[in-house]
Structure 1
Amino acid sequence: MFNKIIKRSNKKSSKSEFNEISANGVRSAEVVVNHASRTATNPATANSDAHNTLQPAAAPPVSGVIEILPPLREVAVPERPSLFLRKIQICCVLCDFSNTLKSVREKEIKRQTLYELVDIIQSGSFKFSEAMQEELIRMVSVNIFRCLPPLSHENSGTESVDPEEDDSYLDPSWPHLQLVYEILLRYIVSSETDTRIAKRYIDHIFVLKLLDLFDSEDPREREYLKTILHRIYGKFMVHRPFIRKAINNIFYRFIFETERYSGIAELLEILGSIINGFALPMKEEHKLFLVRALIPLHKPKSIAAYHQQLSYCITQFVEKDYRLADPVIRGLLKYWPVINCQKEVLFLGELEEVLEASMPSEFQRCMVPLFRQIGRCLNSPHFQVSERALYLWNNEHIVNLIAQNRKVILPVIFEALEKNIKGHWNQAVHGLTANVRRMFLEMDGELFEECQRQYLEKEARARELEEQRELTWKKLEAVAAHAMRDGMVLVN
């Protein structure tokens, strides 16, 4: 526990692909607010939109001398703009939450000021000029765009951390961060916010920094980020292609490089809503996203953390365009786990949802490799895998697809069914297999008998080959023994 506390107290250097935003800090006239990512690049690679990056604000009061300002509603209307800017400056002061007894008064003043800003934006009673909106977004940037602490499992020498042994990380500065996120959310959803003005400050760099914060281990922060990014996607149409591409890049980095990212589930939740709104016919861009990003997300070991959201996105694609069922099923087969039984159970559950949304024409294109894999699952020594595969026959739509193509499917899995009947150790699996076997017999008794005849012939040939192999070995042993007797020399 002590080592974990020490580890989280250290912050890694920030690595950014974009220009850093300068803002004021607690103990100096200016603090550099870095890209929130835990990785960094040369600032020279900044986006071409960098000229829209927020500029430094006037220096806020130094921590320890923050004054209590009157509420905006209690001052004359002409004085409100200047008072609002002073309040923004107070909120730009970053407080140290590593020590709960330090700067208690200043922390409370800032919290009350942030709460007042939340109330003002929500009420809509205060008209914000463009300069005020710029300062407001700058204040938000100063507070939320920061270096995230190292992940709890970094430098630990382990692949992952047992969630039962490691509590979720909770950011100590959340009393302030929550209010800042609330301010940003209410500003975005407010009917008073003009997107033509707001997009000058909520630009591509701002969106990228928001996306980097999804790597935060604090689930409360990721929940706010999910809501805010979804609202930005809905309100700022100009950002939509950029957001999709940026999420795509995060997935690529996660799949093929790090396999570690805290906010994959939240990003997939956003995408689930976005996919649901795709117009038909579906653009080629969206189909490529499915094949190149979503399907490979089945590869990482940590899929259990986001599989529910991933499965929903995949199913949405198939429901939108049934022709995508074949590439989806083949993709699942490509990444099918070999020794991870829990992951295999997840795959079988997702496969059922995809098959339920598929049409006979697409089913026929992939049914042979599909049922070869299902046959292997039926014979799995792990009873949960075998049981989950047998549950596919409880789905009426899947049973109808199988019945229409029984002449192809039954010969593929008949041997697996017979092996379960003869020798599976689990009684529940044995009973379910008997039900499936009976179902095929009722579907087509003649086909079932033909498959049974072929299976018995195959077993007879296998027994003959085994007997021949044993006979051959016995002959070799006899020849070797005879040669040893003939060539034996006794030495006294």
Structure 2
Amino acid sequence: MMFTKIMKRGHRKVPKSDVIEPPIPISTTNVTVNHASRVAIAPAVANSQPQSASAAAAPPNSGVVEVLPLLRDVPVSEWHFLFLQKLQICCFTFDFSDTLKSAREKEIKRQTLMEMIDLVQSGSCKMNEIMQEELVRMISVNIFRCLPPLSHENTGNGSGDPEEDDMYLEPSWLHLQLVYELLLRYIMSSDTDTKVAKRYIDHLFVLKLIDFFDSEDPREREYLKTILHRIYGKFMVHRPIIRKAINNIFYRFMFETERHSGIGELLEILGSIINGFALPMKEEHKLFLVRALIPLHKPKCISAYHQQLSYCITQFVEKDYKLADTVIRGLLKYWPVINCGKEVLFLGELEEVLEATQSAEFQRCMVPVFRQIGRCLNSPHFQVAERALFFWNNEHVVSLIAQNRYVILPIIFEALERNMQGHWNQAVHGLTGNVQRMFLEMDAGLFEECQRQYVERESMARELEEQRELTWKRLEAVAAQANGEDMVMVN
């Protein structure tokens, strides 16, 4: 009945005084943002909803719905009131599990949303505060819903790889996409006054928006990424709380769940934010690097967001070259031991960081770095060894190595020799030979000295092994002569 009354009010004339009658409010204070599987919150929220809100959520009867006229077909004096009526229509939510159910009403809402997007984008209707408040209220009703259980919760596979999960697509995306588009156009509009809009696009709204980055639908996360980036750029008052909320999501992801669908999208936003940091960099931003970004290298599912993470890390080093030592030592701290795929990612990121590193910072960390690279050179996994050898294809890295060859070559010379003598992969064998020739051309005297020391060490190692074998043979001979009579058994 409520919906029927709303539809019939479309023909009411607005008096010349242009007094706007506020629409029926729909409370969004207690909208559930969490996944449906988190049932600890859902019952309390459901019981706290006012009666009018639950009544408004029911879909209208398809037999009595009347289509409101288009805004362009009515006098300008009636636009504001008709706009509010159309917002009320868009507050109705529908069940998309059955495509035939309420098909007429769904189409009415879709067309209404498209009309409102065109209106906001064109700026032909100047929205007053009441209209903006109700617009954000309608958007909240549609977006801030209860997300379905995560895919791994449905299957019971809590330790699975999120990349292998089936992609979830939101059934109501037909309407939801238009709502997100409307929100984006409203934020981007030159007619939107930030001082007025921040009353409705407030801290609570932004925090709820960030919560929905955990949606498994990639289309929704893409819209959220664009919208949150626009909010960060336009509403300066929200910047600290956005950074803090993203920080908290990272902490929970790293230390509790290791499951979150939107880490990559959040890192993309941060990459743009970091790029705009002013120098000298605030201590808050450096702490964020050390406490949040570097530890993000620890989770097993890093491959899902490593590209975005690597970009953020490199941006910090390019902004402040003095952070290179901190970043590199952080990478070494979380270096994988048995995960070869992850190790290849780390080697690629390390090269990008070294490319942005200056000589003074490089000298502070070169010893642990090339000890790790030496271990990678001897990896039986050919992709790891091959990726480590690719460092010598980077001109900047080679120049740093050349300046510090007296320290670096003795560290990795043994690894290069072991590859030449016994690595199973021919490509690794060939690349190792190229690196050796590069060092020989760089400093023949140093190369020959390292080779002489290597031969001496190998000779001493063989002598020790021969002495050990001789000692064991003597013990065996003594035991055989004693025939076991004088042997003492120790329990």
TM-score, L = length of structure 2: 0.88
Counterpart Cα distance in 1 of 2:29 and 2:354: 55
Q: Deviations over 1:396-441 (max 9, x none)?
A: 1100100100111011111100100100000000010011011111
Q: Deviations over 1:1-46 (max 9, x none)?
A: xxxxxxxxxxxxxxxxxxxxx9859xxxx99521245658889xxx
Q: Percent same amino acid at aligned positions? A: 76
Post-superposition offset of 1:163: 4.3
Aligned-partner SS, 1:214: helix
Decide whether aligned partners of structure 1 residues 163 and 288 sit closer, same or farther in structure 2, where only a CA change above 3 A counts: closer
Letter in structure 1 aligned against 2:156: S
Counterpart in the other structure of 2:210: 211
Counterpart Cα distance in 2 of 1:133 and 1:40: 33
Post-superposition offset of 1:481: 2.1
Counterpart in the other structure of 1:159: 159
Q: Runs of 5+ in structure 1 lacking a partner? A: 1-21, 44-55
Counterpart in the other structure of 2:305: 306
Post-superposition offset of 1:226: 0.4
Post-superposition offset of 1:109: 1.0
Structure 1 residues 169-178 or 434-443, which shifts more? 434-443
Counterpart Cα distance in 1 of 2:97 and 2:247: 35
Which of 36, 43, 60 is the equivalent residue of 1:64? 60
Counterpart in the other structure of 2:483: 484
Decide whether aligned partners of structure 1 residues 31 and 309 sit closer, same or farther in structure 2, where only a CA change above 3 A counts: closer
Post-superposition offset of 1:480: 2.1
Counterpart Cα distance in 1 of 2:364 and 2:424: 34
Residue 202 (1) aligns with residue 201 (2) = yes
Counterpart Cα distance in 2 of 1:487 and 1:134: 98
Decide whether aligned partners of structure 1 residues 40 and 351 sit closer, same or farther in structure 2, where only a CA change above 3 A counts: farther
Matches within 5 A, 1:54-453: 60=56, 62-65=58-61, 66-154=65-153, 156-161=156-161, 163=163, 166-453=165-452
Q: Deviations over 1:27-79 (max 9, x none)?
A: xxx99521245658889xxxxxxxxxxxx889648413343111122122332
Counterpart in the other structure of 1:48: none
Counterpart Cα distance in 2 of 1:371 and 1:61: 63
Counterpart Cα distance in 1 of 2:453 and 2:237: 63
Aligned-partner SS, 1:367: helix
Q: Cα RMSD (Å) of the superposition?
A: 2.2
Q: Is the 8 A contact 2:214 2:260 kept in 1?
A: yes
Decide whether aligned partners of structure 1 residues 417 and 466 sit closer, same or farther in structure 2, where only a CA change above 3 A counts: same
Decide whether aligned partners of structure 1 residues 31 and 244 sit closer, same or farther in structure 2, where only a CA change above 3 A counts: closer
Letter in structure 1 aligned against 2:480: A
Aligned-partner SS, 1:153: helix
Q: Is the 8 A contact 2:32 2:144 kept in 1?
A: yes
Counterpart Cα distance in 1 of 2:369 and 2:29: 57
Decide whether aligned partners of structure 1 residues 420 and 180 sit closer, same or farther in structure 2, where only a CA change above 3 A counts: same
Decide whether aligned partners of structure 1 residues 180 and 127 sit closer, same or farther in structure 2, where only a CA change above 3 A counts: same
Post-superposition offset of 1:458: 0.9
Counterpart Cα distance in 2 of 1:336 and 1:454: 30
Q: Deviations over 1:53-111 (max 9, x none)?
A: xxx88964841334311112212233222221111111111100111121111111111
Post-superposition offset of 1:454: 1.2
Aligned-partner SS, 2:147: coil
Which of 23, 31, 34 is the equivalent residue of 2:32? 34
Aligned-partner SS, 2:349: helix
Counterpart Cα distance in 1 of 2:30 and 2:479: 84
Aligned-partner SS, 2:170: coil
Post-superposition offset of 1:485: 5.2
Q: Deviations over 1:235-287 (max 9, x none)?
A: 00111111111111111111111111101111111111111111111111111
Counterpart Cα distance in 2 of 1:31 and 1:327: 44
Q: Deviations over 1:118-146 (max 9, x none)?
A: 11111100111101111100100010111
Aligned-partner SS, 1:213: helix
Aligned-partner SS, 1:134: helix
Counterpart in the other structure of 1:7: none
Counterpart Cα distance in 1 of 2:214 and 2:69: 38
Post-superposition offset of 1:478: 1.8
Q: Is the 8 A contact 1:415 1:455 kept in 2?
A: yes
Counterpart in the other structure of 2:47: none
Counterpart Cα distance in 1 of 2:300 and 2:475: 49
TM-score, L = length of structure 1: 0.87
Letter in structure 1 aligned against 2:390: Y
Letter in structure 2 aligned against 1:197: V
Structure 1 residues 33-42 or 333-342, which shifts more? 33-42
Post-superposition offset of 1:443: 1.2
Letter in structure 1 aligned against 2:200: Y
Q: Is the 8 A contact 2:294 2:330 kept in 1?
A: yes
Counterpart Cα distance in 2 of 1:366 and 1:403: 15
Decide whether aligned partners of structure 1 residues 58 and 138 sit closer, same or farther in structure 2, where only a CA change above 3 A counts: farther
Post-superposition offset of 1:484: 2.7
Counterpart Cα distance in 2 of 1:141 and 1:158: 31
Counterpart in the other structure of 2:48: none
Counterpart Cα distance in 1 of 2:205 and 2:72: 31
Aligned-partner SS, 1:384: helix
Counterpart in the other structure of 2:464: 465
Q: Is the 8 A contact 1:272 1:313 kept in 2?
A: yes
Counterpart in the other structure of 1:474: 473
Counterpart Cα distance in 2 of 1:351 and 1:485: 60
Decide whether aligned partners of structure 1 residues 60 and 40 sit closer, same or farther in structure 2, where only a CA change above 3 A counts: closer
Q: Is the 8 A contact 1:390 1:436 kept in 2?
A: yes
Q: Runs of 5+ in structure 2 lacking a partner? A: 1-23, 43-51
